[in-house]
Chains A and B, each alone.
Chain A
Amino acid sequence: MISFDRVSKRYSEGHDALREVSVNIGRDELVFITGHSGAGKTTLLRMIMLMERPTRGQVIVDGQNLAAIGPRGIPRHRRNIGVVFQNHRLLLDRTVFDNVALPLIIAGYDHREVGRRVRAALDKVGLLDRERAMPVTLSGGEQQRVGIARAVVGRPKILLADEPTGNLDPALSAEIMQLFEEFNQVGVTVLIASHDLALISRLHHRIITLRHGRLVAGSAA
């Protein structure tokens, strides 16, 4: 589903974020990416959603070489990927419902379909009764679950998460991870960047370890 072939990324100031990274992630996999901050976890995720382009090497996502996607193709590419951010990145002046509906509005669904899907997604993350609430009135864990609902509401094939449990206590973190596992069980490829080794080592999934931009463990399933 996702394949990195000797991918390097050097920023203009000479810092190497990724060095010769090669890795294959299968269709039904849930994979953790770990490493110290600055090891290249975020850069790897950003390349999959085309926020970043490799300096060398190629990235293939769902059979599509990302080098062949021009600026105009980026929005369409991103619509096939759900993303969960560490700081949620919710629209603070919109309700929970509107936040979750955003990807569907962009994709142009009619409002009945939007309503149906948003409620299904909110139900899945356990926030169905909060659809009229504003994000600031929610706890950190609830906000993160709104972010997850927004990421999955468009039924993406790939779900990316960058430190999704970064600001949560262990119990909430485990709940969130369980949600990701459930999405993975219905066929979504899930890729989670996290430095919470204690948590992810309990979950028995493949763990890719990066150190100073190099892949040091987990290159094969």
Chain B
Amino acid sequence: MSGRARAVGGRSGPVGRRDGASQSRTRWRDQFNGWLRHHRLSAADSMQRVLDNPVSSTMTWLVIGIALALPTGLDVALDNVSQLSASWDSPAQISLFLQDGISDDRARQLQEELAGREDIAQTQFVSRGQALEEFRTLSGFAEVLASLDSNPLPHLVLVSPADGMAESDAAALRAELEDYPDVAQAVLDMEWLQRLNSLMELSRRLVLAVGGLLVVGVLLILGNTIRLAIESRREEIVIVKLVGGSNAFVRRPFLYTGLWYGVGGGLFAAILVSASLWFLRAPVSELALSYQSEFRLRGLGVMGGLNLIILGGLLGLAGAWLAVARHLVEIQPR
């Protein structure tokens, strides 16, 4: 018998019978290295299997990508809207309608007085004459207005509160201004902003709900894909278990398969969202320009894209884990 043959049949395994302290330390390190090696091996092997079936893998990636892109795209859109509404320099404006019979000079004096206040950023005086003129040209009721004996409109002072004033402070300011003897009525134009905000909140929750549903969908899709992968490798799993593979060993390649599907899906989602934003960018800029706005569509950004890929990866792992936990234990050598 040759020396090499003896090496195969020979008794001296890598682990001696007498485990000294240093021996057990090297043994521990060997085991750790072996574990690491198998991770590398599983990762590469799973990747290879995913790439070996480009059509079905791309389908899986696309399904996951679309499911992730929908809520992400809506979220980006909401972000843009809230950025847009925040970019209006003054979120609220207080309209002061002055008492009847106040002269132009008195009204101007009041405007200047108010402009001096610290909690007021800007004031604008619209005299009743101006207002009538504006109304005449804009409303198309010129003839009706002409038939009136006198100008029914009051003087108006428009007050913009200081930047960054809270809603409640603006309301307090309104109440204070209404107490001025010259002021008949003070109106805070905030309702539309409140409506917009609650609409945004509603949309945000809708996106969250839709996102949650789609995430569950992604988990189920991945779970099913991994279940099929397990099913197609049933005989292999049995053999691996027969020659001493642990559950963790058997599980590993499938978890990596899930990870690769998830990461690919996240990448597809990032590409889909970026592509749609790119598609919308030109018309949005055009629209913004027509409103004399410098608004530009904000995209996902590098971090957003990375987060999406990480999220995809985590979902992939979780979906694979669900499938593996359910189906792998059932497969025992018979």
Contacts and interface: CB of A to CB of B under 8 A. Distances in A.
Contact of B35 (A89, A108, A152): A108
B10 A155 contact: yes
Which has the most chain A C-beta neighbours within 10 Å: B5, B244, B334? B244
Given A83-B242, A102-B243, A124-B4, A182 B9 contact: yes
Contact of B8 (A91, A110, A117): A117
A75 B4 CA distance: 28
Nearest to B7: A120
Nearest to A75: B246
A108 B4 contact: no
B244 A79 contact: yes
Per DSSP, chain A at the interface is helix
A51 B333 contact: yes
Contacts of B239: 89-91, 102
A136 B239 CA distance: 17
B6 interface: yes
A214 interface: no
Interface string B77-112: 000000000000000000000000000000000000
A21 interface: no
Contact of A75 (B9, B31, B38, B245): B245
A130 interface: no
A120 B246 CA distance: 26
Given A124-B5, A152-B8, A186-B6, A110 B242 contact: no
Contacts of B209: none
Contacts of A72: 246
A143 B333 CA distance: 20
B13 interface: yes
B19 to A, nearest CB: 15
Contacts of B38: 105, 108
Contact of A78 (B11, B33, B242): B242
B37 interface: yes
Contact of B9 (A79, A105, A107, A188): A188
A220 interface: no
A33 to B, nearest CB: 19
Contacts of A102: 239-240, 243
B250 to A, nearest CB: 9
Nearest to B36: A108
Interface in B1-31: 1-2, 4-14, 30-31
B241 interface: yes
B33 A120 contact: no
Interface string A169-190: 0000000000000110111100
A106 B240 contact: yes
B244 A106 contact: yes
A21 B66 CA distance: 62
B34 A109 contact: yes
Given A89-B235, A106-B245, A124-B4, 5 more contacts: A120-B7, A182-B5, A183-B9, A186-B1, A188-B9
